[in-house]
Structure 1
Amino acid sequence: MEKTVLVMGAGDAIGSAIMRAFAGVGYTVVGARRNGEKLQPVVDEIVRTGGKAHGFSCDARNEEQVTELFAKIENDIGPLDSVVFNVGANVPMTMLDTDTRKFTKIWEMATLAGFLTGQAAARLMSERGQGSIIFTGATASMRGAAGFGAFASAKGALRNMVQSLAREMGPQNVHVAHVVIDAAVDTEWIKGMLPDYEARKANDGVVNPDDLAQNYVWLHEQPRNSWTFELDIRPWNEKW
């Protein structure tokens, strides 16, 4: 039986790196994002190097689409060993500039989508008595900074929800974990935003997505006598 991993929110940086990391140790990987056609490059890369990968379109905020995606994977590809929720929702704005529509959209992306993904995974894994569900968090999961009120409220809510899920699923032999990425990750967005990007990268001051992704594999493969709930990650020189 294929060992299958779903990355919900498989973007060009962290999500794709997680797909490559799991594929590199023999898992069949499935990536999902709103525009699934954007996954073709990473799917082709994994297949070209001998792995197995699939890409699908899914709006993680839509319960019907999430349900259909999980059913398709289970029926056509294989039972899910791990599900990673990695949907991004970082939209900086001041509280005074945040209207109801923007606030709600950020909450839907970071919190509601996490609930729908986690619930769908938990239903399957609790029946089988095994698996892992891993959620990507951020600095905003732990504290709110100026200009990130909506994002912090949504990420903080996600973290609290994941704590509840972990306590419910642990006795079912399902490992639930939360990864706090307290740093800048090497993406095109970060490259354009940081004036000292090149200097930081040369000094290992920016998180490499492929190095980061290895932590997700490690969390999934942990023995249950020493599960980690929360893992915080930052470069050696990051202030915290």
Structure 2
Amino acid sequence: MAKALIVGVGDGLSASLARRLANRGYDLVLAARDTDKLADLAAETGASTVACDASDPASVDGLFERVDAVDGPLAVAIYNPSARVRGPLVELAAEDVRRALEVTAFGAFLTAQRAAVRMLDAGAGTILFTGASAGVKGYAKSAPFAMGKFALRGLAQSMARELHPQGIHVGHIVIDGGIRNPGREEPADKPDSMLDPDRIAETYMQLVDQDRSVWSWEIEVRPWVETF
């Protein structure tokens, strides 16, 4: 049986992804800094959980040791974490910016590199990155998030050009808008203004299923009322 890894799991999009993959029969490994919050989701999906700091190489190596202990090839790897630091450019703390970049971009590299090694050995696999509109256009007072997401997008595009011809599908999903998560709903005066996590997860699965004759490296998703 094939296995799937999701890094940066919470109760929103990543939980929807876990349910979709479990329903497809994948053996799941779910990684997060705090795994206590994953108990219910793990019980529902039959997943293994691993505590992991995605920005730390040793921690990511430990994660993949746990992934390797699960039978079957690694077929899907999804990187979801990001870190935001907001504020005027001249007031940002350097260490906060460094940490944001480590989580959003460097952690993506660490996870993707290790996933790619395993998928290349098998000659197949899908690696997906959760992007944002900040990776396409930088917003005022949000420079660290834009820096991290631009780097993430560049990583995905470079990987796609290198790995697609070797049988590994790499995809970057630009999420343009807020996600409707538990406890976070649209304002009454702005119906349909947020993305449904289950519908986003369907888009990820379309990339997993996509025939290699038409592989997409990037897809944008946004609410139909969103301007862009």
Which TM-score band applies after superposition, normalised by the shorter structure?
over 0.9
State the AA in 1 paired with 2:187.
Answer: Y
Contact 2:5 2:29 in 1 (8 A): yes
2:89 aligned counterpart, secondary structure: coil
* Residue 5 of structure 2: aligned partner: 6
Distance 1:174 1:221 in 2: 13
Q: 1:212 to 1:126 in 2, by over 3 A?
A: same
Distance 1:185 1:58 in 2: 24
TM-score (norm 2): 0.95
Aligned length: 228
Contact 2:2 2:74 in 1 (8 A): yes
* Residue 206 of structure 1: aligned partner: 194
Question: Are 2:129 and 1:135 equivalent residues in the alignment?
Answer: yes
Q: 1:189 to 1:59 in 2, by over 3 A?
A: farther
Write the mapping of 1:82-161 to structure 2, written as runs, cut at 5 A: 82-161=76-155
* Residue 20 of structure 2: aligned partner: 21
* Residue 217 of structure 2: aligned partner: 229
* Residue 165 of structure 1: aligned partner: 159
Contact 1:106 1:150 in 2 (8 A): yes
* Larger mean Cα displacement after TM superposition, 223-232 or 72-81: 72-81
Distance 1:130 1:77 in 2: 16
* Residue 197 of structure 1: aligned partner: 187
Q: 1:94 to 1:190 in 2, by over 3 A?
A: farther
TM-score (norm 1): 0.90
The offset of 1:190, in angstroms, is 4.9
Question: Are 2:54 and 1:53 equivalent residues in the alignment?
Answer: no
Contact 1:19 1:30 in 2 (8 A): no
Distance 1:77 1:32 in 2: 17
2:47 aligned counterpart, secondary structure: strand
Distance 1:186 1:138 in 2: 15
The offset of 1:189, in angstroms, is 7.5
Q: Which runs of 5+ in 1 are unaligned?
A: 47-51
Distance 1:235 1:129 in 2: 36
Alpha-carbon displacement from aligned partner over 1:77-132 (angstroms, at most 9, x marks no partner): 43210000001213332212211011101000101000001101111111111000
Q: 1:106 to 1:76 in 2, by over 3 A?
A: same
Contact 1:144 1:152 in 2 (8 A): yes
Q: 1:25 to 1:229 in 2, by over 3 A?
A: same
Superposition RMSD in Å: 1.5
* Residue 206 of structure 2: aligned partner: 218
Distance 1:228 1:92 in 2: 32
Contact 1:89 1:151 in 2 (8 A): yes
Write the mapping of 1:53-72 to structure 2, written as runs, cut at 5 A: 53-72=47-66
The offset of 1:76, in angstroms, is 3.0
1:96 aligned counterpart, secondary structure: helix
State the AA in 1 paired with 2:53.
Answer: D
State the AA in 2 paired with 1:151.
Answer: F
Alpha-carbon displacement from aligned partner over 1:164-207 (angstroms, at most 9, x marks no partner): 1111111110000000000110135755xxxx62343xx32211
After the TM superposition, which parts of structure 1 deviate over 6 Å for at least 4 consecutive aligned residues?
none
Distance 2:148 2:51 in 1: 23
State the AA in 1 paired with 2:118.
Answer: L
* Larger mean Cα displacement after TM superposition, 142-151 or 24-33: 24-33
